[in-house]
Amino acid sequence: MQYLICIVFLSTLFSSASATCTFPTDLTGIWENPGQGNLTFNETHMTGYDVDSYTDLTLECHLFADDKYVLRSSDFTLLGLSNVVNAAFCISLTKQSSNKYTYFIQTSQLADANYERVMFLQSSDVISSVNDVCNDTSTVNVPQETKLLVKFGEAVNEAVRCPNDILGTYWYYNHTTCTESYWDVCSVTSQMTFNYTMCSEKQFFSAGGVVRCLYNVEDNDDTVTYIYNEDSTVDNSATYQYSCMIVKKDSSDGLVYVTQYPRDCLSNQTSTYVVSSGHSNVLSANVTCDKVRVLTIKERTYTSMLIFQFLPRIPVFLKLV
């Protein structure tokens, strides 16, 4: 009866309207989404989306206005009830590159969908304006609410320099099973590697211990970063392809505080707090490399050749990153 009341109320909210809605042309294809897995886009539809326990939904690009897209699914039956409904939500989409988009979901949370940002509507309900569904702008520009889309197979190519606060090599501990291990974000500044010989506990849910930074956004003194795990396969239990990192360096003692959570960021996650299913670390710097210029692969190769050629004759003091 709770769903029925909600649906009858919503049916009075909408009136007739029409609009052409199409996704950006370069969004066509398969995209990796940390929280959803693979999503497939064509000009007017997105497939593979999950809402709570309702999986693999197809959503149409229903309305577009003011840089906001309203997406609406085909009908499905609510579990344990006879009500047939469809799901609708609103996103604001931003192109970061031809292979990377970010977006915010601007629909209020629904308790009956495990507090996901979505509406349940009847098929007879007609959405008259994007504002009918784009009813919560509190998520916009909140770093933890940022969602990511990466073109399938392009994650490594889309890697970016990791946050300055974490550039270096570190000794770290994690409050649980290991008292100390080694963390390298200096050899390649878009990549983090871990010494699993010293501490076998997985970092960023990676069995291989090699991950990439994909997207950074500042949150006051914290930096929120999406992480890509280079493992060729994951089980979505102990290992995940994507995770969220929030990092902060303490200016008083130089320690770096890091939290990790699988898939998307949590809305209440900070550099010092994450729920028990996430991980937290405290890093002590061995070497910092945030002030050293980042060399390209070509520059690194050329510089290494020069060092090798002239090393017997002159002392060389050069930091490669």
DSSP 104-136: EE-S-EEGGGTTEE-EEE-TT-----HHHH---
Kindly report, residue by residue over 39-51, the tens digit of the pLDDT: 999 999 999 999 9
Across 260-268, average pLDDT? 97
Across 155-175, average pLDDT? 91
The whole-angstrom distance between residue 259's C-alpha and the CA centroid of its chain comes to: 14
- Residues with Cβ < 8 Å from 82, sequence gap 6 or more? none
pLDDT above 70 for 180: yes
DSSP H helices in 140-286: none
Higher pLDDT residue, 10 or 79? Answer: 79
- pLDDT in the model for residue 290: 60
pLDDT above 60 for 305: no
Kindly report, residue by residue over 57-72, the tens digit of the pLDDT: 999 999 999 999 999 9
**Chain mean pLDDT for the chain:** 86
Helix (H, G, I), strand (E, B) or coil at 24: coil
pLDDT above 90 for 294: no
Distances (CA, A) of 194 to 133, 171, 184, 269: 44, 10, 6, 23
CB atoms within 10 A of CB 320: 13
Distance between CA atoms of 292 and 92, rounded to whole angstroms?
36
Provide the percentage of residues in the chain whose pLDDT is more than 90: 75
Domain ranges (residues) in the chain: 2-154, 159-288
Distance between CA atoms of 166 and 178, rounded to whole angstroms?
20
Kindly report, residue by residue over 216-262, the tens digit of the pLDDT: 999 899 999 999 999 999 999 999 999 999 999 999 999 999 999 99
CB atoms within 10 A of CB 182: 16
* pLDDT band per the 50, 70, 90 thresholds, residue 80: confident
- Residues with Cβ < 8 Å from 197, sequence gap 6 or more? none
* pLDDT band per the 50, 70, 90 thresholds, residue 131: very high
Higher pLDDT residue, 103 or 1? Answer: 103
* pLDDT band per the 50, 70, 90 thresholds, residue 263: very high
pLDDT above 50 for 293: no
Helix (H, G, I), strand (E, B) or coil at 2: helix
- pLDDT in the model for residue 74: 94
